Amino acid sequence: MPEIRAFRAWRYDERKTSDPARLFAPPYDVISKKQQKALYSADPHNVIRLELGEEKPGDSARDNKYVRAARYLGQWKGAGVLTQENAPSLYVYVQDYKEEGVKRTRHGFFAAMKIDEKAVKKHENTLAGPKKDRLALLKETKTNLSPIFGLFEDSTSEIQKLLKEGANSKPVYDVTVDGVRHRLYVETDPKRIARLAALMKKKPMFIADGHHRFEVACQYKKLAGKGAAGWVMTYFADCRNNPFTIWPTHRLVKFPTSMKDAPSALSRLGDVERVSKLDAVLEALAESREEARDKRYSFGFYSKKSGYLLLTLDDALAQKVKRNPVDSLDVSVLHKFVIEPVFKISKIEKSEAIDFTRDAREAVARVNAGELDGALFLRPTSLGEMILASKKGLKMPQKSTYFYPKLLSGLVFHSLEG
Q: Is 47 left (phi over 0), alpha (psi -120 to 50) or beta?
A: alpha
**What's the pLDDT score for residue 260?**
86
Section 391-405 average pLDDT = 85
pLDDT at position 340? 95
DSSP state of 411: S
Arithmetic mean of pLDDT over the chain: 93
pLDDT for res 48: 98
State the average pLDDT over residues 180-190: 96
Lowest mean pLDDT among 50-54, 98-102, 247-251, 294-298: 98-102
Report which of 39, 43, 48 is spatially closest to residue 73, judged by C-alpha positions: 48
288 vs 334 pLDDT, higher one:
334
pLDDT on residue 348: 79
Contact 111, 9 (CB under 8 A): no
> What average pLDDT does range 236-265 have in this prediction?
92
pLDDT above 90 as % of the chain: 74
Q: Per-residue pLDDT for 350 more than 80?
A: no
What are the strands, taking DSSP E only, across 140-266? 143-144, 148-152, 173-177, 180-187, 205-209, 231-238, 245-247, 250-253
Model confidence over 300-312: pLDDT tens digits? 999 999 999 999 9
Is pLDDT larger for residue 72 or for residue 124?
72
Residue 83's nearest CA partner among 17, 134, 169, 136 is 17
Res 240: pLDDT: 87
Q: What is the mean pLDDT of residues 226-237?
A: 91
120: CB partners within 8 A, 6+ apart: 2, 150, 205, 207, 214
- Answer yes or no: is pLDDT of 228 > 80: yes
Q: Is the pLDDT at 317 greater than 70, yes or no?
A: yes
Domains of the chain as residue ranges with CATH = 4-245+404-415 (no CATH), 249-380 (3.30.1760)
CA distances from 240 to 96, 107, 215, 216 (A): 17, 11, 26, 28
Contact between residue 297 and residue 289 where contact means Cβ atoms under 8 Å apart: yes
What is the tens place of the pLDDT at every residue in 66-117?
999 999 999 999 999 999 999 999 999 999 999 878 999 999 999 999 998 8
Position 62: which residue type?
R
User: For residue 300, what are the β-bridge partners?
Assistant: 310, 377
| DSSP structure string for 266-303 | HHTTEEEEEESSHHHHHHHTSS-TTTSS--S-EEEEEE
pLDDT tens-digit readout, 164-182: 999 999 999 999 999 999 9
- Determine the pLDDT at residue 110: 98
pLDDT confidence tier of residue 145, bands split at 50, 70 and 90: very high
| Between 231 and 119, residue with greater pLDDT | 231
| pLDDT bucket at 418, cuts 50 / 70 / 90 | low
